[in-house]
Amino acid sequence: MTGRTLALTFATRNGTTHQDVTITHCVVAGWTGRDKVALEKHIKELEELGVKRPASTPIFYRVSAQRLTTANAIEVLGNTSSGEVEYVLLQHAGKLWVGVGSDHTDREVETYGITVSKQICEKPVASVFWPVEEVAPHWDSLVLRSYILEDGKKKLYQEGKLAGMLSPDDLIKDYTSGKALADGTMMFCGTFAAIGGIRPASRFDFEISDETLGRTISSGYDSVSLPILG
């Protein structure tokens, strides 16, 4: 079976370990908002870009694991793609872990095929993951943020607490019909509306913050635009 091997760090309150992990299944969960008002806002901002409403919420798109990357730069076609911060679940060695990533998506392609758009761009992820069991007691207080470089300045692009998202248990239950995720599965778990609207940027930084335990996982990447010649 094909997959993507990533060099990851598993950080617990007792220490850290570094492992090369092969991801065999990548899933992007869409429309995962727990807050129906916020979910509707995100649906409408995408409708303004020509993206059709989803057939159901949540919905799960399969993506090639080869699209996963921890690199600090990706190549994109033209200037119609953008990042969006998401919490990321990883089932590894019989244990569930949480990290953060960007479901970078080509917005032009998204207007005529969401499933296709998910395959067009790389899916950057931070290399650090926490055990879900360590953050479960204060899960709703975890914060996702993203920033873009705009007019030469770093600007807040997205921000929200995971209280606004469906929980890991609920998402996994919907996806697997009640079973645990298979080992080697990575799942992107939804995003928040963009502050000021969805737009491309040459730099995208993203993070998940645990203020209760005083720690943050962060990463970022440059988008290098390739020409579209016809």
The strand pairing partners of 209, in sequence order, are 143, 216
Q: State the number of CA atoms in the 13 A half-sphere of 145 facing the CB.
A: 14
Q: How many CB atoms lie within 10 A of CB 202?
A: 13
pLDDT of residue 114: 84
pLDDT truncated to tens, each residue of the chain (230 aa)? 579 999 999 999 999 999 999 999 999 998 888 877 777 777 787 788 787 787 777 899 999 999 999 999 999 999 999 999 999 999 999 999 999 999 999 988 988 888 898 899 999 999 999 999 999 999 999 999 999 999 999 999 999 999 999 999 999 999 998 889 999 999 999 998 899 999 999 999 999 999 999 999 999 999 999 998 87
pLDDT of residue 1: 58
Can you tell me which residue has the tokens 């998204």? 110
**Cβ(126)–Cβ(146) below 8 Å:** no
Q: Which long-range contacts (CB under 8 A, 24 or more apart) does 146-153 make?
A: 146/83, 146/84, 146/85, 146/102, 146/204, 146/205, 146/206, 146/207, 147/204, 147/205, 147/206, 147/220, 148/83, 148/199, 148/201, 148/203, 148/204, 148/205, 149/201, 149/202, 149/203, 150/199, 150/201
User: Of 81, 31, 27, 70, nearest to 192 (Cα)?
Assistant: 31
Cα–Cα distances in angstroms (integers) from residue 41 to residues 69, 104, 227, in the given order: 29, 19, 32
- Tell me the whole-structure pTM to 2 decimals: 0.92
- For the CA atoms of 178, 179, 185, 189, what is the dihedral angle to 10 degrees? 20
CATH number, domain containing residue 173:
3.90.850.10
Residue numbers of the domain that contains 46: 4-226
Q: How many domains does the chain have?
A: 1
User: Of 212, 206, 74, 61, nearest to 144 (Cα)?
Assistant: 206
pLDDT of residue 22: 97
**Cβ(220)–Cβ(204) below 8 Å:** yes
